[in-house]
Structure 1
């Protein structure tokens, strides 16, 4: 007699294995592992192995017995979407179980390629801890120095990059607890070889950020200062006074279009804007302004002002000719001359010179803006108020209006004044952009932009809806009356204009009081004045007042960011042979590398809000010469003694 059995039924239920692991039941686990029906590929609800469960519960004896029995599980990762890639070594590091870390390493655990890429470990909605996927990054973010030393000793890669391109140094910058991040950063830098040290902190992630740049982009002021202190080199010291240099490699935009300065000026985060007042960023901006930007900015401002004046004068003297009264309407006494009639006298040719300057200037503006737009992309072109805000778009609109006016002039169209008038408005309003070069005016420019494109735009959207609704209401009431007695409501367009004027308080309701008017009209009028004229207008005033007091505390900081953005804009658009690089070569100061550095004069202690010094270069050149004399005297004295 033969008995047949299903093989699956002979195997132990997986619940028994994981129950023994959860309860740290060593005897039961050993018995289960020694049984003949044990399945080594058994997985839990999260697709974890029994080794993962044993390590998570801190049972070293069970974990070692599992490794002895099934050594292949040592690098077996969890396969569920949430915890995909997490190996036993990751769990041992997270538990800070040094003994188990050493045990796994002695048994040949992989610390080079193992990566935890589940949604729990990658930034996103399900992320619970972003520690960089690699085992070394986990250990560094946890802050266990002993484990970090051990992993590096066993060749854990320092330059390994996760799916976002971040190395272990990037991960330390992102940690909220800065206390252990500083010491861990210094520890890793001290454990690097001479070949690794110059390049590791220069590795960029997928966003193009080095650890220093990432600290700026994330608003980590303390970490930024800490990293700068690591790069700072003393140039000369006398007692408590020292003159230091800062590496400009990642800070200056000369050879790096994604530098610290660029990040600060393009960000919308106030925390990032605060970096504009830090060393050596503040001094670098000042050097750029003094060395080349100031003169080109004022040349740009003066030339644009003259250009707009020429355009205005040419517009005021555009070619017109008188016409007989009543030919083109009762109110038209002059019309546009034809193209042949426009250029006959000496005055016409003088005006032609101004018109040609206007057209050529508009074409230059349009071409340069389109080239710049294609270079940086539409998103960055219109990014925020720091990089230009509405002004670049206004320049393009201005150029297109000038081109439209030229086409109408060539076609002898009478409506040339329409695009010309809008071009005059935009052209003169764009002069507000140059307020950025002046501290007091720059603050008002910021307020105008914030209120205009914030409160006013939202308020206008609400008012437009209300006006449309009341316009239809008025039109329906008057359409049944004799409209010759009510000319201000004779059609929908005229009714819309009248409603708008009523909202602005420019007129009273235009009704003939000698003729009867339906009472419904007065009811709608009273409701309209209460809701739109009183409520919404006062709401706008309250919103603008609130915005003023909200913006004014940070207006100076925003102005400094805009000031820096103007300098960078000039640096991008001025030809290379006209620009001067900020800082000096490190080799000229006796350093071994070829990096450019920024020299910082000592400041009065606590003087963090001092205004920008306008004689910065002059003072530093004088100090440098004196220091050079002192150093030469010292060297000559030492050589004489020897």
Structure 2
């Protein structure tokens, strides 16, 4: 039994005009041609029409008029072209007999003959595209004709059928035209508010400007800044739009607003206003539904989607949303605890933000987002102070411990490489001496350390699956650690195989291991920023320089080798051994590259064999190489590095914080659940009342801020007096306990003296 949805069929009446329309389509090549086959029989397909046609001439036979169709005046006949031309020109007079024609012929405006064969466009959609002064007077005529032929709902909800505009209906066009009057007219005439325009035209594009507006009528109105239409769709008495409805990607209207946001000033203002308006209206319509908690097909709420896509202005607004209206106050994510002049203490709701919850906003920004402004999002409040508290409370101590262990490991690694055996072939036998046992012990530590690093990096790449962009932003140390461990493991395998090549692999891993020491500079701000600048210069300037330099090096080396091969005999007859040595400096491509590299760093020598046949041209090539590389490329590299430092200096601090955030979250991820629960940041505090009058308790994070623009503004705050009363209360309790203890200590000897009088008092 087929699992495909059931297809609805419709009944159509056909006449000569209908057949001529179909034949025209065949002549125009719009219908599929019969595929070439060896047999005259064709394979049966599933692309059949959803309409059953009845020949009108058949009615003549049943009515006893000799098998002829009923007589129709040609002036009263309507074809697709005639109707389309009339609605395009707003010719109401030409459509005066349309309703009578449809009733007489038992036809409907949604019949196949009245639709565009390529797109499925109906006369109503055609009229929607041809408005004059916001209206087309043929639209009421079409609706009235459809209503009297029992075809109103089908006509109003008729859609485009081609892949490009698939799903678009008259209501979408009315909203796109920003015409509230037509929207009301269509909704009053049974327009469906759950329809989706899901054609390729309405999908997101990787590059260029896209036309994705959420597919649904409500999303389209919201994303094009039409609050009057949004309010009508949600509050009309005929059929209310479902604000939780999802499109083909699972996005609600709030998700669509996030996707449309582009962080420009004009766009941000209307997106924020529309976002809050829909959020408040959702509470009015259904207080039980939490619209911001609805996830799309990627399991992302609007907040997490904004974080993943880097919509920083909207993300900042959601973090700082503070609504003072009592009926909507529970929608706030920020609460002013107290104010004193410009000093504010704010309570930020960190639900779905902190890593205590799975797939948090912090993890989304650090590990899943590919936005170019991730380093700017990570310094927004409360993320900035939240990460700092995690660092101060547990991450710093663990990171310092790992740093010390890595220094110890690299010291052992260096000692192992330095004190390697020099006699014999690997693997070296155990001699039983103390020195030899110590050597083996060091090798075992180094080898197991490499296994540990290798496994950790495999887990990182498997869980995080970072893109190249994320690796370049967060630093290339993950790649270097993986390379270090891989080389060391390969060195161990080659050692056991009995080859001395293990020494080269081990030494290369040693070099990379000491370079990886820069990873631990992110624990300190100054060294962390310096490391970021080094990283940017290597990834930007050095790579571009090396690419151009290698082209020059290989080109000139190949030319000089070719010139040197033209005079081998003259060089052989020379009695000067120094000249012979110089002649051999350009005897191969490898030696030529080494000699030219000396020129690049200012250590080359222009002396060469005087017996060369093209010695003057040889000298010219050497001078030209020096000018292009030593003079031009090196100075250009210095200029580029200086420019990079100037550009990156303002961003380096934020990039360093982003790199440190990744370190903090990695450390936290490896902690046991009960430890993470104990170290959870923030406090569970009452911030007001919910919509049903109960106490609204949130897990909040307290941030002290300076807001110089708040003077003269009446702001609602939870506490009247400023100050952290909780800390003061704890100090008072601690002080009272200490004071009580001191009082008891003082009272004990006094009581004993009063109850035990001295001998003098007894006398």
In 2, are the aligned partners of 1:119 and 1:126 still within 8 Å (CA)?
no
- Which position in structure 1 is the counterpart of 2:233? 151
Gaps of at least 5 residues in structure 2 are 1-14, 22-73, 147-151, 322-330, 573-579, 710-721, 733-763
Residue-by-residue CA offset, 1:444-498 (whole Å, 9 max, x unaligned): 1111111112221122122212211222212122224156622323333323322
Residue-by-residue CA offset, 1:151-185 (whole Å, 9 max, x unaligned): 22323111112223221011223245233333322
- Which position in structure 2 is the counterpart of 1:231? 332
> What is the deviation of 1:263?
1.4
CA separation in 2, counterparts of 1:126 and 1:555?
Answer: 30
CA separation in 2, counterparts of 1:183 and 1:202?
Answer: 19
> What is the deviation of 1:424?
1.3
Say if 1:434 and 1:571 are closer, same or farther in 2 by CA, change over 3 A: same
Say if 1:508 and 1:17 are closer, same or farther in 2 by CA, change over 3 A: same
Residue-by-residue CA offset, 1:187-238 (whole Å, 9 max, x unaligned): 3222225866553202223344321123333443332233221432547447
Larger Rg: 2
Provide TM-score, normalisation by structure 2. 0.71
Deviates more, 1:55-64 or 1:547-556: 55-64
- Which position in structure 2 is the counterpart of 1:583? 681
CA separation in 2, counterparts of 1:548 and 1:527?
Answer: 30
Matches within 5 A, 1:81-480: 81-112=163-194, 114-124=195-205, 129-153=211-235, 154-173=239-258, 174-176=260-262, 177-193=267-283, 199-228=290-319, 229=321, 230-232=331-333, 234=335, 236-237=337-338, 243-257=345-359, 259-264=361-366, 267=369, 269-321=371-423, 338-340=426-428, 343-377=431-465, 379-380=466-467, 383-387=470-474, 389-479=475-565, 480=567
Q: Structure 2 residue aligned with 1:508, among 593, 605, 628?
A: 605
> What is the deviation of 1:280?
0.9
Provide TM-score, normalisation by structure 1. 0.84
CA separation in 2, counterparts of 1:5 and 1:233?
Answer: 70
- Which position in structure 2 is the counterpart of 1:533? 630
In 2, are the aligned partners of 1:365 and 1:396 still within 8 Å (CA)?
yes
Residue-by-residue CA offset, 1:499-538 (whole Å, 9 max, x unaligned): 3333333221452569998333222222222223322222
Q: Structure 1 residue aligned with 2:143, among 61, 67, 75?
A: 67
Say if 1:497 and 1:593 are closer, same or farther in 2 by CA, change over 3 A: farther
- Which position in structure 2 is the counterpart of 1:556? 653
Deviates more, 1:597-606 or 1:574-583: 574-583
Deviates more, 1:562-571 or 1:399-408: 399-408
Residue-by-residue CA offset, 1:284-316 (whole Å, 9 max, x unaligned): 111211121111111111111111011111211
How many residues align? The count is 599
Question: Match of 1:454, SS?
Answer: helix
In 2, are the aligned partners of 1:235 and 1:243 still within 8 Å (CA)?
yes
CA separation in 1, counterparts of 2:650 and 2:336?
Answer: 37
CA separation in 2, counterparts of 1:623 and 1:261?
Answer: 32
> What is the deviation of 1:362?
0.6
Say if 1:362 and 1:134 are closer, same or farther in 2 by CA, change over 3 A: same
In 2, are the aligned partners of 1:248 and 1:595 still within 8 Å (CA)?
no
Deviates more, 1:237-246 or 1:249-258: 237-246
Say if 1:403 and 1:583 are closer, same or farther in 2 by CA, change over 3 A: closer
CA separation in 1, counterparts of 2:356 and 2:453?
Answer: 24
In 2, are the aligned partners of 1:140 and 1:184 still within 8 Å (CA)?
yes
- Which position in structure 2 is the counterpart of 1:634? none
